[in-house]
Amino acid sequence: MLAIFLETLNITAPVFAMLFLGVLLKRIDWINDNFIHTASALVFNVTMPALLFLGILHADLHAALQPTLLIYFSLATLASFAIAWGWAIWKCPREDRGIYTQGAFRGNNGVIGLALAASMYGDYGISLGAILAALVILLYNTLSTIVLAVYSPVIKSDPWSICKSVMVNPLIISVLVAAPFAYFKISLPGWLETSGQYLAQTTLPLALICIGGTLSLAALRKSGNLALSSSLVKMIGLPVLATLGAWLWGFRGAELGILFLYFGSPTAAASFVMARQANGNHELAAAIIVITTLMAAVTTNIGIFLLQWGGWI
């Protein structure tokens, strides 16, 4: 229990450090809205695709491949998306529904979820977590593109336009291109992979600085109720339902623990980048990321404690 708490703090502390740096840089006018817009576009179109490509390139798609678990995870993700969207229709003004929905279902599995899975379950956690991460990247980006397109003022929302938005999304393209490289174990030339790593390593710091630069007390007050509502759905409502469903499905031990860590991860920084790309309420997206990351230190540990107390993991 204490080890997981400390590991959560070790993972989330650098996130808050970069967020604070973004707030500070904006306050002293070293970055401005033009920088945030340009940097967010760079993350979306270049550095994050590089990060996803290299992450999948090195994933062992043959290890810990469990079709039943992957099927359940996919179904639970689709159900979580549907619940979050339905709740958003009831709770939100129309223009904020896409941002609310994305914040409520899209977890930071590739960073926080995978790191905690590795901390708890070692090599098995890494191998199973990597496969889930590859699946979730495709699901999250496809579903986020759909819901953002429906409510975006700059993206057409007819079925063909939404389909095109999905197909030309750089994050989805990077996943699809990387999959055969990983499956057939095709390696890149050393110089090319090193160049890609340089780009990939800038993704999270740059995205978090942009999020921090967007934050202000006025923005948090404006987004407060919606951001808190979306965060409660993300960190309590959906993890409880999805983990209970996994338990009823018959998962126990490491599989149940890893599923909980993935369902209970805070909202991904990519949600902010996609919100800006869709010209949505990026201030709301930033607030949800901050609140869910704060909540993760509490909800993750309570969930692990209850699952261990019940003897299920």
| End-to-end alpha carbon distance in the chain | 12
Res 7 pLDDT > 80: no
For 38, what's the count of Cα atoms within 13 Å in the CB-facing half-sphere?
5
Q: What is the pLDDT of residues 233-270, one digit of tens each?
A: 999 999 999 999 999 999 999 999 999 999 999 999 88
Res 23 pLDDT > 60: yes
Q: What is the pLDDT of residues 170-197, one digit of tens each?
A: 888 888 888 888 888 888 999 999 999 9
Res 64 pLDDT > 60: no
> Is 278:222 a contact under the CB 8 Å cutoff?
no
User: What sign for the dihedral angle of Cα 149, 154, 157, 161?
Assistant: negative
Q: What is the mean pLDDT of residues 36-62?
A: 84
- pLDDT bin (cut points 50, 70, 90) of residue 14 is confident
Q: Enter the pTM of the model.
A: 0.86
> Is 227:275 a contact under the CB 8 Å cutoff?
no
Q: What is the mean pLDDT of residues 258-286?
A: 91
Cα–Cα dist 54/58, whole Å: 6
Q: What is the mean pLDDT of residues 30-44?
A: 91
pLDDT, greater one: 76 or 217: 76
What integer best gives the mean pLDDT of the chain?
87
Q: What is the pLDDT of residues 126-172, one digit of tens each?
A: 777 777 877 888 899 899 999 998 998 777 667 777 788 788 888 88
- Architecture of the 2-309 domain: Up-down Bundle (1.20)
DSSP element (H, E) containing 164? helix 159-167
Q: Which of 5-14, 33-42, 77-86, 148-157 has the highest mean pLDDT?
A: 77-86
Res 102 pLDDT > 90: yes
